[in-house]
Chains A and B, each alone.
Chain A
Amino acid sequence: DAKTTQPNSMESNEEEPVHLPCNHSTISGTDYIHWYRQLPSQGPEYVIHGLTSNVNNRMASLAIAEDRKSSTLILHRATLRDAAVYYCILRDVAQGGKLIFGQGTELSVKP
């Protein structure tokens, strides 16, 4: 399975933008880039995904590098409820669609 590299932890101030980086230099052409997050004491939840183009949804934006070897999850205005572990995952739907989680980035948000 293709792997991703993320910082172990990041800090943000409330109401400021947050940029969570992810490196995936071994990405293949059929890999989608997915982001999930896990709030304390909960199961992971879907945030966003993309293949080549940048993507926006109500939760976040995903910026994908032109060579697809890195991506950035952008939270436009962090709130205290955004404090969670954020996982960047490469997902090959030809492999049953399963997600292989890494360590993720633990985001803390300061008021």
Chain B
Amino acid sequence: DTGVSQDPRHKITKRGQNVTFRCDPISEHNRLYWYRQTLGQGPEFLTYFQNEAQLEKSRLLSDRFSAERPKGSFSTLEIQRTEQGDSAMYLCASSLAESGRRTGELFFGEGSRLTVL
């Protein structure tokens, strides 16, 4: 399968624990995005990378959240000291941005569902 893959698909944790999600984008895609989605709402933008550089972070991304894309390929999203309000689906997407051309469509993974007890 050459789509965007996310791991784990489901994570149940206790409040206060740290969790990490991984996203593997489509191989030639240089842009990678993280979103969060709660039940009944549209996805909310969190952050995005161009290659290894994190170019934008939403105000939703509190200090407990950190995202990395160390080699410009896969990315991780870590949440420290989880709270019940962090329970959500975390979606990753990738796209191809070429200089002088319009950024391509976003391809989304199936998401990582987090439940904080």
Contact = CB atoms under 8 A, between A and B. Distances in A.
Contacts of B43: 44, 99, 101
Nearest to A97: B103
B105 A46 contact: yes
Interface in B29-74: 31, 33, 35, 41-45, 48, 50, 55-56
* Residue in A49, A97, A103 with the greatest tally of chain B CB atoms within 10 Å: A97
Chain B contact-residue range equals: 20 to 34
Contacts of B31: 96-97
* Residue in B42, B91, B108 with the greatest tally of chain A CB atoms within 10 Å: B42
Nearest to B3: A43
Interface string A71-95: 0000000000000010100000100
B95 A97 contact: yes
A96 B105 contact: no
A42 to B, nearest CB: 6
Chain A contact-residue range equals: 20 to 34
A2 interface: no
A44 B105 CA distance: 11
Contacts of A98: 33, 45, 48, 56
A93 B42 contact: no
Nearest to B104: A97
B56 A104 contact: no
Nearest to B92: A43
B29 to A, nearest CB: 11
A103 B42 contact: yes
B7 interface: no
